[in-house]
Structure 1
Amino acid sequence: MKKLSILVIAILALIFNACSTDDDFTFVAKPDPEGISFTNTFLSSYILKPTNANNLGERFVWNEVDMDVQTTVRYELQASIDESFENDELTILGSDIAETNYPVTIAELLSLANDAGLDTDPETEASNLGEVFFRVRAYAGETSATNVEQFSDPVSITLELVEDTNEEVELPKIFVVGNFQAAGGYGNDWTPEDGAALAASALGKTDYEGFVYINADAPEFKFLPTNTGWDGDFGDAGSENGDYTKTLKQEDEVNAGTPDGTGGYFLVKADTEKLTYELTETNWGLIGDATPTLWDADTDMTYDADSMLWTVNLDLIGGKEIKFRANDDWEINLGDTDADGTMEFGGDNIIVPEDGNYTITLDLSHQRHYSYSLTKN
């Protein structure tokens, strides 16, 4: 009996020593024996039209994974033009996903079709029909940089490009929604359908841009992928509402704010792939040798929230030139390269047709389609 007691004490001592040293404890996540896979039914082919770029292409749905870990399980939706999913062929469509589904737009499918070399030009050897691959990755932890992961088997879907038409393609958009809307002329506060739009540079791009009058003493806002609801909203990665970190976040986010926490007329840029955003306050003026102050100083313009226009009345000299610039500086300036009434950043100087007193307007309310007018009084 004495020998048995000594043996029990020794075993208990070993257990206590093993549990009391944190460095000796290693937890290995156990994969779900059922694995992860897509659960939705895919179409035989996806017909893609540029004019439908903002529409939903497909919502990818998969089963929830139990990795038997005491931490968060996140998901990442991946696409590739090659079934091997080599790094140089890999596109991350969505990351840090907490739900078991993710929407993919027609614009994103068009971008993948472009990567796959598809086109609608009959003069090339490329086809308008091709295959791309998708898979979902599950990983344990707050960051995607982990080896505790699972991948679904790849699924292929067929993309079909519709022949190009002369229809004007609507650029992809996201929307800024917040407590500034009513005072800024954007309908009701915190109302998605009244949100201020930002536009990407082209189909399949995520570099959204636009000018927004954020007229509030303590602005707070979010970015929405559509103006029909709150699904997929982006906020700031900070810890308090109204933060301005220049970093977007979709889970456990807070409301975004302006750089100094006050209102103004801002050039807003947001990238939903890089998860960044930036606001630059702008106050616009007119400069040029056609103005009384020549190229030496700006003549300030005035913003009207009702018309969403910057205006100024000024005597101009015919045959001379003008340009629009922000903040009395050349870092942000607009000209008219093709003399067609539309504006480009850093564009050509604008020639005044003849001497006279003019009402000059600058319209920045149409994303990436900025315009101006010279009206002789």
Structure 2
Amino acid sequence: MKKLTLLFIAFIAILSFTACTEDDGFTFTAKPDPEGISFMNQTADTYTLTSANANNLAERFVWNEVDFDVQTPINYELQGAAEESFSSYSVLGDVTDNNLAVSIGSMLDLAEEAGLDNDPETEAPNTGNIYFRVRAYVGADAGNVVEQTSNILTVSVTLPEATEDAVELKRELYLVGDATAAGWNPDNNNTPIFRDAENDDIYYFEGRFAGGDGVEGFKLIESLGNWQPQWGINEGAATSSDILGGDPQAFPVSDDAFYSFTLNAADGTYTFESIDASSAPTYSAMGIIGTATTGDDSGWNQDIDFTQSTFNPHIWYINGIEIFEGEAKIRADNDWTDSWGDDTFLSGQGNNNNDPNIVVTPGTYNVWFNDLDGRYLFIPQVSE
């Protein structure tokens, strides 16, 4: 009898262990989010796509986070297509964040699939639409995947037709704010910051910022006269209104002093540090000279003068200058003691004297120069 009792107890224990083991294998049941998923970023009216800028950021797509009511990471798959039907599409990235940067090159690939090109000799259009959507999902196999797909976002793109004297239009960033020369006016001859010659996402500026008590600071705008898109900071990182889905805060400026500012628009990193400019020379005149100013050798005989900023004596500008095919240099005080040039056009940095001449593309430009670091910027003025 005692043996039977022991056997019965052992049998019950085995059943209890098995039941506990099965209970430990419970699963969550994912449910689609009733709020859905949709894009939150503001897109440009049209995106200008050139192969020369293929590696640059075209847009950072942002969407709302979804809640599938499960304790597991949610994946987001950004898809791009040449047709609104999405009968075929490309996966541009698969992330657990609710945003993804898309390069100009990726948009160009979709534009080519859509039948667009920039050859004026073909009948193919150079303007059209490409399409984006985002898929949110949990689960790793077809039997367990729960997913939701966003609305379809239509994006207009233009591939500038190739011409002999085509001028690249690149993103410009202009200073605005109560610590800057323009104040909070987005159309007040705002000073641009200087784009890197090799990487269009990196910008530099050395100069005065009029900070202090009661001063909010500065932001950056991409288009004169327009507040959007605007760049500032959010939670310690540089960001734009397109990325954030709202206006960022201003970069703060503690004192009225000279600072060095750098920005990487692709990853949101920036630096802002005070510098000592007290030993830098202050010039009485600055000019551009060379065959590019006249179209012939007579251009080396006469400077076309810049205007000196009244806010910062190291910043110089010329608005609406016609540039001819040829070469140019920038020089101080109408002689060759101090002069600057570089082998890159639109933007570059001279080191003084022995610099190469700037080989230009003809057109009408606003030209800006900073004598503190030798950086120059040619901004094409395109007729509407």
Which TM-score band applies after superposition, normalised by the shorter structure?
0.3 to 0.5
Normalization by structure 1: what TM-score? 0.45
TM-score by length of 2: 0.44
